[in-house]
Amino acid sequence: MKEAEPKAIHLKDYEPPTHRIETTDLTFDLESGTTTVTSRLKVVRASASTEDVPLVLDGQELKLVSVAIDGVELGSNEYQLNDDTLTLPDLPPTCEVQIVNQIHPEDNTALEGLYKSRTMYCTQCEAQGFRKITYYQDRPDVLSVFTTTIIADASEYPVLLSNGNLRSDELLDDGRRKVVWADPFPKPSYLFALVAGDLALLSDEFTTCSGRNVTLEIYSESHNIEQCHYAMDVLKRSMRWDEETFGREYDLDIFMIVAVEDFNMGAMENKGLNVFNTSCVLATRDTATDQAYQRVEAVVAHEYFHNWSGNRVTCRDWFQLSLKEGFTVFRDAEFSSDMNSRTVKRIEDVNRLRSVQFAEDSGPLAHPVRPDSYIEISNFYTPTVYEKGAEVVRMLQTIVGQDDFRRGSDLYFERHDGQAVTTDDFCNAMSAVTPRNLDQFQRWYEQAGTPQLTVDSTCTAEEGLIVNIAQACPATPGQTEKLPFHIPICIGLLDDAGNSLIGAETALQSDSDIEIRQDTLVLHLRSQATNLTVSGISGTPHVSFLRGFSAPVKVNYPRDSAELAFLALHDTDGFAAWDVLQTLLVREIERLQAASTVSPVVIDLFDALIRRALDCAELDTDSRNEQRFLLAAMLTIPDENYLFEQLSPVDVDGVCNARDSLRQTLATQLQTQWQSLYTTNTAGEPYSPDASGMSRRGLNNIALDYLSLALDGTALSEQLRSHYDDADNLTDRRAVLVATVNSKNLDPAFKDRLLAEFYDRWREEALVVNLWFSAQASARDCTAEKLSRLAEHPAFDLRNPNKVRAVYTAFANFNHRNFHAPDGSGYELMGDMVITMNNQNPQMAAALAKPLTRWRRYQGQRQQLLQKVLKRIAACEDLSTDVYEVVNKSLS
């Protein structure tokens, strides 16, 4: 907590460190109530010019016991200590600093630094948690070789882990155990980790491409260990994939993952010792949905990939966060695309980008991929830094081409191994291998906001096809004027039968750079506006625009519904087919806010898509799975978050009602078709988390969802009941749970019985209980008052972030009718939670505040109601920097 008004930190003020810390030797004495940390640092002055500069170490919430320089203890007048720093003046050019301090992990509810989760100790240091463990230069450009000694009671904490390789393990005479871990790779403090507990182990091994054997270990509390097999399988696949795709080999003798129940985010890539939220590592058919399996796959891979993109090559400062996060999200997305359907992975990612990142980019918290200032760095682990950052890397790959991209990535790792670098260094490595000029491309790192493309096209026999494209980017906080971006735009052209009209001989003319790659044109838009002329083609081509979502932009390309419907059915680029369908559906939902009947073109299109799904039984296995995945995505109506972003300013009730009415009409008018789709995709074989099973369940549960709107009374309860009773997995059970809690056509007793039955059966499985909570929190009848009652359930725990997310985040992000209740009760409730969490866990509190911040995009009274809550929070004493920044920026 800060007394004075928190100050912003600026990228332009970056100064290199005054001292290096060559080695860091830590000893942790874990005693109940108090942990004593002894730190021995070999400190070297960075250069002669820093001769008179004192060593300033960061430290927060620590009790200093002693400081010694080269073995001589300092008197309290020989150093300066305040709330955030310990300053040591007059150090010799090279010396050993020894510091002893105490901390209280048991009282640490912020889950940053060293804390206790149930019976185990664990750490979370990124970004600035290490300073809550001991005094240190807690910044990513100070790289040091760490040795860690842990001493703890041998029976209570038989497993003692830290980074690197195990050097020794001994039982002491007093019944305690002492282990020493040594990490040979220099690393910044944010990658430090320690775990101590009575943990079960799943082990395996991996032989790297150069023939080295690596021990793989996953630890969890013993009741969860059998749920770790899938993560182990993913880990091995990730290790192999990173060798084959990016030439990256693992470097230590051991790689460990520890599953922790209380964790602020998904997982953390500490060197050789990844710490995971249980939600991102445990997976069995009964405890994880198909979606959760895919998340485990993505997160295990993501954290593993950080070993190179983040750990071996790290960030110079936190403004460069996207250097490791954007690149690593890109890498994990490529991995998931190779493991599953590439098209559908792209659809999911773009869906999320549009719902969440575009919303951030057009709101009060908009910031560039490389921010230029922050108050609290924890607030910058955002969709912009992660997901837009990954889009920026993807565009680089599109611009330079796959082969040069790989050469650039090799060069980046080779040049910067063991260094802390910047996004400029990354682009420079790419520049070094491509003939293309990437100077203008830098603006993607510097300018916030989502560029908007305005497109129109005409086609005449004389001139051929002319496409005009213009770009503009709206103002964002602190950036009123924007310069044009370098935007790679992939375009396909189709004839009336859906065949590509592009070939090597296509006659093209444009004032922009343009190339032909197979059946796609890649146009490099650099100016504010450009045009493209394609001559020598017969008929009027259908334009498949922004194939694969080649740039994170919004597109305004007015075309009639018949043209969009044609492309939805015929575009050979699956992403583009889905994309035009979204345009059509958004437009339809906008229209339905004033009209009452759904357009026949939409109903006919859904009819055709269902027919295609029914016909795909004829295809070979791979195409069948791919088609099913794609059609499941296409048959899903965009959710409210997506629609709100496309239709701002938002009339919440108008959008929700229009969306409901579209779904209801499709359900009723195509009921027979949904029933066939349901039957055709009902499981014939036991559960498997593979493409065949997942894609089939996807279609089966979508059909169930529509049927739950079309049916009522006994027919509905029987259908739901049999789906539930036949289920051998959580995906199917969850589908029934969600349909049940949201249905208007069911006897309330049926709902109550199902909820009670589900809870009784799965009460021991925390992750399943979380899903039970979130289904109820996002149900259409869950008012703020009902939510408060739900949070009184004995299984709810305010100290466990997963539970808080399952109840409160689910409510604010997915229960739009009730979060946005016209009386402001949803907003007030979330405001209360932010204030409660502010003292206990500032990072969680700031995350909970975010849904309140976008007040400008809602219409009418809601703007005032939201501002009122934000002002109430802003007026609280002892506001954490995390909440302070989010709330004040959104009010200004």
* Residues annotated as catalytic (active site), given as ranges: 303
505: three-class secondary structure by DSSP = coil
Q: In what order do the strands lie in the sheet with 63-69?
A: 72-73, 63-69, 94-103, 34-45, 19-31, 145-153, 176-182, 165-171
Q: Which does 268 bind (CB under 5 to 8 A by kind): ligand B3K, Zn ion, none?
A: ligand B3K
Cα 100 from Cα 64, distance rounded (Å)? 6
Supply the minimum distance, in Å, between the C-beta of residue 381 and Zn ion.
Answer: 9
404 binds, among ligand B3K, Zn ion, none (CB under 5 to 8 A by kind): none
Sheet holding 520-525, edge to edge: 513-517, 520-525, 487-494, 542-545
Question: Given the complex with ligand B3K, which of 194 and 580 has the nearer CB atom?
Answer: 194
All residues at 6 or more sequence positions from 210 whose CB lies less than 8 Å from its CB, including other chains: 249
Alpha carbon separation from 597 to 635, 640, 664 (Å, rounded): 19, 20, 11
Structure tokens at 656: 């929700």
Biggest CA pair distance of the chain: 94
Binding positions for ligand B3K, 372-391, rule CB under 6 A: 378, 381
Q: Residue 579 touches which of Zn ion, ligand B3K, none (CB < 5 to 8 A by kind)? A: none
Structure tokens that stand for 877 in this block:
């004493």
126 binds, among ligand B3K, Zn ion, none (CB under 5 to 8 A by kind): ligand B3K
- Among Zn ion, ligand B3K, none, residue 381 binds (CB under 5-8 Å by kind): ligand B3K
Picked from ligand B3K, Zn ion, none, the partner binding residue 392 (CB below 5 to 8 A depending on kind) is: none
Shorter beta-carbon distance to ligand B3K: residue 267 or 866: 267
Q: Which of residues 323-342 bind Zn ion (CB under 5 A)?
A: 325, 328
Closer Cβ to ligand B3K, 579 or 882, answer by number? 882
* Residue with smaller CB distance to ligand B3K, 328 or 783: 328
Near ligand B3K by CB under 6 A, which window of 146-154, 298-306, 411-419, 548-556? 298-306
**Residue numbers 712-731 binding ligand B3K by CB under 6 A:** none
CB of 315 to Zn ion, least distance (A): 11
Distances (CA, A) of 172 to 151, 168, 175, 264: 9, 12, 6, 35
**Helix (H) or strand (E) segment spanning residue 555:** strand 554-556
When the beta carbons of 112 and 290 are compared against ligand B3K, the nearer one is: 112
CB of 20 to ligand B3K, least distance (A): 24
Copy the structure tokens of residue 487.
Answer: 């935007």
Q: Which is nearer to ligand B3K, 280 or 487 (CB)?
A: 280
303 binds ligand B3K (CB under 6 A): yes
CB of 333 to ligand B3K, least distance (A): 13
Q: Does 750 bind ligand B3K (CB under 6 A)?
A: no
Q: In a 3-state reduction of DSSP, which class is residue 846?
A: helix
Structure tokens at 604: 């006919």
Question: Could you give phi then psi for residue 849, rounded to 5 degrees?
Answer: -75, -25
Q: Using CB distances below 5 to 8 A depending on partner kind, what does residue 144 bind out of Zn ion, ligand B3K, none?
A: none
Give the H or E element holding residue 458.
strand 452-460
Q: How far is the CB of 6 from ligand B3K (least distance, A)?
A: 17
Least distance in angstroms from the C-beta of 24 to Zn ion? 23
Cβ proximity to ligand B3K, 302 vs 346, nearer residue? 302
Q: Which of residues 319-348 bind ligand B3K (CB under 6 A)?
A: 325
Residue of 864, 851, 739 lying closest to 360 (CA atoms): 851
Specify the stretch interacting with ligand B3K by CB under 6 A; choose among 301-309, 645-653, 793-801, 833-841. 301-309
Considering the rule CB under 6 A, would residue 126 count as an interface residue with ligand B3K? yes
For residues 706 and 666, the answer to whether their CB atoms sit within 8 Å is yes
Smallest distance, ligand B3K to C-beta of residue 306, A? 6
| CA–CA gap between residue 839 and residue 837 (Å, rounded) | 5
How many chain residues bind ligand B3K (CB under 6 A)? Answer: 12
H runs (alpha helix) in 14-158:
none
In the stretch 232-271, what mask flags binding to ligand B3K with x, by CB under 6 A? ---------------------------------x-xxx--
In this structure, the strands spanning 194-197 and 120-124 are: antiparallel
> How are beta strands 452-460 and 464-472 bridged, if at all?
antiparallel
Q: Please confirm whether the linkage preceding 477 is cis (ω < 30° from 0).
A: no
Residue whose CB is less far from ligand B3K, 332 or 645: 332
Q: Smaller CB distance to ligand B3K: residue 390 or 501?
A: 390
Tokens of 185: 């790779």
- Measured torsion, CA atoms of residues 554, 555, 561, 566, in degrees rounded to the nearest 10: -100
Cα Rg, the chain, nearest whole Å: 28
Binds ligand B3K by CB under 6 A, chosen from 26, 127, 711, 791: 127
Question: Of these partners, Zn ion, ligand B3K, none, which one is at the site of residue 127 (CB under 5 to 8 Å by kind)?
Answer: ligand B3K
Question: Three-state DSSP class for 286?
Answer: coil
In whole angstroms, what is the distance from residue 612 CA to residue 617 CA? 9
**CA distance linking residue 148 with residue 492, whole number of Å:** 57
- Count of chain residues binding Zn ion (CB under 5 A): 2
Which is closer to ligand B3K, CB of 325 or CB of 519? 325
* CA nearest neighbour of 113 among 501, 500, 505, 378: 378
3-state secondary structure 378-438: HHHCCHHHHHHHHHHHHHHHHHHCHHHHHHHHHHHHHHHCCCEECHHHHHHHHHHHCCCCC
* Least distance from Zn ion to the Cβ atom of residue 652, Å: 33
- For ligand B3K, the closer of residues 277 and 695 by Cβ is 277
378 binds, among ligand B3K, Zn ion, none (CB under 5 to 8 A by kind): ligand B3K
Strand partners, 104: none
587-619 core/surface letters (b: 16 or more CB in 10 A; e: else): bbbbbbeeeeebbeebbebbeebbeebbebeee
Angstrom distance (rounded) from CA 490 to CA 572: 13
> Closest separation between CB of residue 310 and Zn ion, Å?
7
Report CA dihedral (731, 732, 736, 739) to the nearest 10 degrees. 60
Q: Decide whether 268 or 366 has the Cβ nearer to ligand B3K.
A: 268
- Compute CA 477 distance to the chain's CA centroid, rounded to the nearest angstrom: 23
Choices 10-18, 300-308, 388-396, 570-578; region in contact with ligand B3K by CB under 6 A: 300-308
Which of ligand B3K, Zn ion, none does 667 bind, CB closer than 5 to 8 A by kind? none
Q: Which of residues 775-814 bind ligand B3K (CB under 6 A)?
A: none
Nearer to ligand B3K (CB atom), residue 266 or residue 654: 266
Q: Which residues bind ligand B3K (CB under 6 A)?
A: 126-127, 265, 267-269, 302-303, 306, 325, 378, 381
Which residues of the chain form contacts with Zn ion (CB under 5 A)? 325, 328
